[in-house]
Amino acid sequence: MMEIRKASDRGAADHGWLRTFHTFSFGSYHDRNHMSFRSLRVMNEDWVAPGQGFGTHPHRDMEIVTYVLEGALEHRDSMGNGEVLKPGEFQRMTAGTGITHSEFNPSDSEPVHLYQIWLLPERKGLEPSYEQKRFPEEERHNRWQRVASRDAADGALRIHQDAQIYLAELDAGQRLSHSLEAGRHAWLQVLRGAVTLNGQPLATSDGAAISDESELAIEATEPAELMLFDLS
């Protein structure tokens, strides 16, 4: 079973300094039919204007994953971390018992285009923590690159949930597959480009929820970048 979430059907807001799209209910956007998928709670695609950003604000009991497609995002938090996230880098923050952080576009001329993703943690009250890592682009060229998992296998970042996150960059005409174990589910997000998923077309910013399938068959109909979630 597959349910496609078209980019044009997402919640949207334009605040001037921030243009944002919500796959699931978030903030003032509420859709009872799109609250979450398994442990995946938030999938926001954002464009932040030069010199603008999110002021210091709190989080707790959430796994927060950030991936920048274009530009740069400066992060500061109450754990003492101060980093600039650039394309090709992946960030994971466990909010746990509570943190505050800010995110800011340090450029005076270029917007930053990013995805911010929240997953529900396996339990509440975790100790807050932070990781950021650059993953070599060549290791996701026409193949899956694991960037986050519960066991941090293969150098992936550690997320406190029974989930695995993969990236892939496909040339036009290239194919990839992913096997799902019995009882597991998947979410595929097309970051850019276009693919078919089990024969169904998906374009830039489209997503798809997959359940009761044993195999995902993906073919790029144009150059594409993908993020895949394998979920319990």
pLDDT per residue, tens digit, the chain (232 aa), is: 999 999 999 999 999 999 999 999 999 999 999 999 999 999 999 999 999 999 999 999 999 999 999 999 999 999 999 999 999 899 999 999 999 999 999 999 999 999 999 999 999 999 999 999 999 999 999 999 999 999 999 899 999 999 999 999 999 999 999 999 999 999 999 999 999 999 999 999 999 999 999 999 999 999 999 999 999 9
Q: Which residues pair with 118 in a beta bridge?
A: 42, 64
Q: Which domain holds residue 105?
A: 2-231
Domain tally, the chain: 1
CB atoms closer than 10 angstroms to residue 40: 24
Judge residue 158's burial from the number of C-beta atoms within 10 Å of its C-beta, 0-12 exposed, 13-18 middle, 19 or more buried: middle
Q: Which residues, 6+ apart, have CB-to-CB distance to 138 below 8 Å?
A: none
Say how far apart CA 202 and CA 210 lie, in whole Å. 13
The residue behind tokens 């998906």 is 202
pTM for the predicted model, two decimal places: 0.96
What is the DSSP pairing of strand 145-149 with strand 157-158?
Answer: parallel
CATH number at residue 141: 2.60.120.10
Amino acid of residue 96: G
